[in-house]
Amino acid sequence: MTKNKNLHMTHAEDLVMLGGVTGINWVLKVFSDLYEKLKGFTLKEELSLSVKIDGAPAIFAWSEFPGLENYGIAMKGLFAKSPKVMYSDDDIDAMYPGRIQLTYKLKSLLKHIKNIDIPAGEIWQGDFLFDNKSLFQTEIDGEECYAFHPNTIYYVVPKSHELAKKIESAEVGIVWHTIYLGEDLNSAQANYNADVSRLKNIPEVFMTDPYIKSLSGIINFSEE
């Protein structure tokens, strides 16, 4: 089941009520495929597994897209009748006056949009994780860690972990999860296979996606 815009993610239990027979069959297939994969079987159709990373707020970004100026960002107002888009620091200040923390995040991302090489014809949607003002340090069981709290969940990364160096050097952190393709905003279709390896990795922007690359060492069912 696909959606034109990823503004809300419907839960599996809701699809049983909202999707009728189609919804029920889709849910059953997904859970059946997941069960087979956890047993170690190779599926005819590859099943993509992801985790829900609790970032906020949502952000859209692009380099070139029909109907939009180059190198811009937007929040959920992108798909309004009159799209609310930002191409400069002045645009950001005018859109969100007085919201210092939010505008700092937006400006930190906007100034690096040209450098992360979002493919032409695509809009990437993600969620903010942190910026270099909201990132903080803590200690857990005697180990020093970096931590961030974008929404309701605290995320902690030990300084000894390889991710810590990337987080430490970043001005802003983003989790990308959706790509939009289309001839314009009205026809844009959401694709949930965002792969950050397609973007250019730069130290100023920490980027990740929610997908589990491999189940090895995470969980497997025994044959029994």
Tell me if residue 163 falls in helix, strand or coil.
helix
- What's the pTM value of the predicted model, to 2 decimals? 0.80
Position 213 scores a pLDDT of 60
Phi first, then psi: what are they for 79, rounded to 5°? -100, 15
Question: How many CA atoms lie within 13 Å of 22's alpha carbon, on the beta-carbon side?
Answer: 4
- Could you report the per-residue pLDDT of 39-76, keeping only the tens digit for each? 665 554 565 667 888 999 999 999 999 999 999 999 99
Question: Whole-number mean pLDDT of the chain?
Answer: 87
| Helix spans in 66-161 (H) | 89-95, 100-110
| pLDDT higher at 16 or 185 | 185
Residue type, 73: I
Mean pLDDT of 80-87: 96
Tokens of 172: 């802003």
Residue spans of beta strands (DSSP E) within the chain? 58-62, 72-74, 85-86, 122-131, 136-140, 143-148, 155-158, 172-181, 189-191, 205-208
- Could you report the per-residue pLDDT of 208-217, keeping only the tens digit for each? 999 866 544 4
Position 2 scores a pLDDT of 43
Position 216 scores a pLDDT of 45
Percent with pLDDT over 90 in the chain? 69
pLDDT class of 222 with cuts at 50, 70, 90? very low
Distant-in-sequence, close-in-space partners of 132: CB < 8 Å, separation ≥ 6: 108, 170, 171, 172
Secondary structure letter of residue 48 according to DSSP:
P
Position 145 scores a pLDDT of 97
Q: Tell me how far the alpha carbon of residue 108 is from its chain's centroid.
A: 17
Position 4 scores a pLDDT of 61
pLDDT class of 92 with cuts at 50, 70, 90? very high
Neighbours of 22 (CB within 10 A): 11
Tokens of 28: 């059953």
Nearest partner of 115 among 197, 204, 209, judged by Cα: 204
Position 47 scores a pLDDT of 55
- Could you report the per-residue pLDDT of 136-179, keeping only the tens digit for each? 999 999 999 999 999 999 999 999 999 999 999 999 999 999 99
Label residues 53-76 b or e (16+ Cβ within 10 Å = b).
bebeebbbbbbebeebeebbbbbe
